[in-house]
Amino acid sequence: MAAVLIAVGWAAVGAGVGVLVRVASVWLARGEEVESGRRPWQRFGPVVLTAVLFGLFAWRVGPHWVLLVRSLWIAVLVQVIFFDLEHNLVLDRVLLPSAIAALLLSLVTPGLGIVPAVLTGLVTGLVFLAIAELGSFLFKAEAMGYGDVKLAAFLGLILGPRPTFNAIVLGVILAGVVAVALLAFRVRGLRDSISYGPFLAAGALISLFAFPPA
């Protein structure tokens, strides 16, 4: 019963954080000179998803201080998901301060540590950079945005080796399933690109949920 109450209470906190995520995204969109949409999923999606994830993580992790760290990453990743879906952008103004926070928090995060975090971030970022450059060379078009490359490096900082691998695999699978569905329903064509950011972020959230604090 106590776990349920904690989860419900933290979900309420998550709803408030989700409102802040949406407000911040609208402000960031103005800085990028793009208009934020007013469809229900754009306005209320961050609020609902953040609340649900806060509640689930509180139930999973319990009253552990690591819940605060993971809740921070939830807020960042939810912002990435909805902003990328809406504007096809992953912002440096979000990832850079988040990466600095990740480096600092890796020092005290159970099962992580700054050396594994930095190494994983570097390797993951370089692998995705190589994929982006190779794709551009082969297809003479942008196969993957540099925002996705930076996001992949950020995931390495917050997750460490094994969870990062799991997150990327999950993200690629999710992206593939959605791409096939969009093709099947003729929403997108073979030459249309798909943003990987939301799927990488979703994979990271699943991976964070699957690995409780040590």
Q: For a pLDDT cut of 90, what percent of the chain falls above it?
A: 67
Per-residue pLDDT tens for 10-67?
A: 999 999 999 999 999 999 999 998 998 889 999 999 999 999 999 999 999 988 899 9
Query: 187 Cβ partners below 8 Å, 6+ apart?
Result: none
Query: In angstroms, rounded to a whole number, what is the distance separating the alpha carbons of residues 105 and 158?
Result: 8
pLDDT at 189: 57
pLDDT tier at 165 (50, 70, 90 boundaries)?
A: very high
pLDDT digits (tens, 9 = 90+) for 77-122: 999 999 999 999 999 999 999 999 999 999 999 889 999 999 999 9
Domain-by-domain residue ranges, the chain? 1-89, 91-214
pLDDT at 214 > cutoff 60: no
Burial of 93 (C-beta count, 10 Å sphere; 0-12/13-18/19+):
exposed
Residues 6+ apart with CB under 8 A from 150: 90, 92, 95, 125
Model pLDDT, residue 188: 62
Contact between 157 and 99 under an 8 Å Cβ cutoff? The reply is: yes
Q: pTM of the prediction?
A: 0.92
| Residue in 80, 49, 208 with CA at minimum distance from that of residue 145 | 80
If one compares 145 and 114, the residue with the highest pLDDT of the two is 114
